[in-house]
Amino acid sequence: MSSENTNAPVSDSEQGLTSRFPTAYTILFFLIIFVAALTWIIPAGSYDRTMSESVGREIAVAGTYHLVESNPQGFVEIMLAPIAGFYDPDSYVANAIDVALFVLFLGGFLGVVNATGSIDTGVRTAMRKLEGREIWMIPIMMSLFAIGGTTYGMAEETLAFYAILVPVMIAAGYDAVTGVAIILIGAGIGVLGSTINPFATVIAANSADIPFTDGMALRLVVLLGGLAICAAYVMRYAARVKADPSRSVVAKQAAAHREFFLKDSDAEQEDATLSGTQKIVLIVFALTFGVMIWGVSSQGWWMARMGALFFGSAIIIGLIARMGEKKLTGSFVDGARELLGVALIIGLARAIVVIMDNGLIADTILHSAEQSLGGLPELAFINLMFWIEVGMSFFVPSSSGLAVLSMPILAPLGDFAGVGRDLVVTAYQSANGLVNLINPTFAVVIGGLAVGRVSYDRWLAFIWPLLLILIVFISAALSIAAIL
| Mean pLDDT of the residues in the chain | 83
Burial of 449 (0-12, 13-18, 19+ CB in 10 A): buried
pTM of the model: 0.74
- Of the pLDDT bands very low, low, confident and very high (cuts 50, 70, 90), residue 123 is low
The residue with greater pLDDT, 26 or 237, is: 237
Mean pLDDT of 406-417: 83
Helices (H), ranges, 321-420: 325-338, 340-358, 362-373, 378-395, 399-410, 413-417
**What pLDDT score was predicted for residue 11?**
41
**What pLDDT score was predicted for residue 264?**
44
Alpha-carbon gap, residue 234 to 219, rounded angstroms: 22
The mean-pLDDT minimum among 39-48, 149-158, 183-192, 379-388 falls in 149-158
Mean pLDDT of 326-345: 84
**What pLDDT score was predicted for residue 272?**
61
**What pLDDT score was predicted for residue 266?**
47
3-state secondary structure of 34: helix
With 50 as the cut, is the pLDDT of residue 1 above it? no
Q: In b/e form, how buried is each residue of 95-134, taking b as 16+ CB within 10 angstroms?
A: bbbbbbbbbbbbbbbbbbbbbbbbbbbbbbbeeeeeeeeb
With 70 as the cut, is the pLDDT of residue 18 above it? no
Contact between 46 and 68 (Cβ < 8 Å): yes
The residue with greater pLDDT, 440 or 221, is: 221
Mean pLDDT of 402-411: 83
With 50 as the cut, is the pLDDT of residue 269 above it? no
With 50 as the cut, is the pLDDT of residue 449 above it? yes
- Of the pLDDT bands very low, low, confident and very high (cuts 50, 70, 90), residue 314 is very high
With 50 as the cut, is the pLDDT of residue 287 above it? yes
**What pLDDT score was predicted for residue 474?**
96
**What pLDDT score was predicted for residue 139?**
92
**What pLDDT score was predicted for residue 192?**
94
**What pLDDT score was predicted for residue 389?**
93
Mean pLDDT of 327-337: 89
- Of the pLDDT bands very low, low, confident and very high (cuts 50, 70, 90), residue 14 is very low
The residue with greater pLDDT, 453 or 263, is: 453
* Residue-range domain boundaries for the chain: 3-48+95-483
Mean pLDDT of 445-456: 89
Helix (H) or strand (E) holding 14: helix 12-19
3-state secondary structure of 442: coil
**What pLDDT score was predicted for residue 262?**
77
Mean pLDDT of 298-320: 87
Residues in contact with 174: Cβ distance below 8 Å, sequence separation at least 6, in sequence order = 134, 238, 241, 242
Alpha-carbon gap, residue 182 to 201, rounded angstroms: 23
The residue with greater pLDDT, 334 or 273, is: 334
Burial of 41 (0-12, 13-18, 19+ CB in 10 A): exposed
Mean pLDDT of 23-35: 83
DSSP 42: S
- Of the pLDDT bands very low, low, confident and very high (cuts 50, 70, 90), residue 2 is very low
Mean pLDDT of 34-52: 89
Mean pLDDT of 235-245: 94
What are 177-187's pLDDT values in tens digits? 999 999 999 99
Alpha-carbon gap, residue 303 to 344, rounded angstroms: 16
Mean pLDDT of 131-141: 83
Provide the percentage of residues in the chain whose pLDDT is more than 70.
89
Q: Could you tell me which residues are beta bridge partners of residue 58?
A: 51
The angle subtended at Cα 402 by Cα 97 and Cα 454, nearest 5°, is: 60
Query: Which candidate, 325, 184, 178, 263, places its Cα nearest to that of 6?
Result: 263
What are 385-400's pLDDT values in tens digits? 999 999 888 888 878 7
Query: Using alpha carbons only, how large is the chain's radius of gyration in Å?
Result: 23
Mean pLDDT of 253-279: 71
For helices 75-87 and 97-115, the axis angle rounded to 10 degrees is: 60
- Of the pLDDT bands very low, low, confident and very high (cuts 50, 70, 90), residue 21 is low
Mean pLDDT of 406-435: 89
3-state secondary structure of 60: strand
Mean pLDDT of 98-123: 81
Provide the percentage of residues in the chain whose pLDDT is more than 90.
32
With 50 as the cut, is the pLDDT of residue 307 above it? yes
The residue with greater pLDDT, 68 or 91, is: 68
- Of the pLDDT bands very low, low, confident and very high (cuts 50, 70, 90), residue 56 is low
DSSP readout, 212-260?
A: TTTTHHHHHHHHHHHHHHHHHHHHHHHHHHHH-GGGSTTGGGHHHHHHH
Mean pLDDT of 184-209: 87
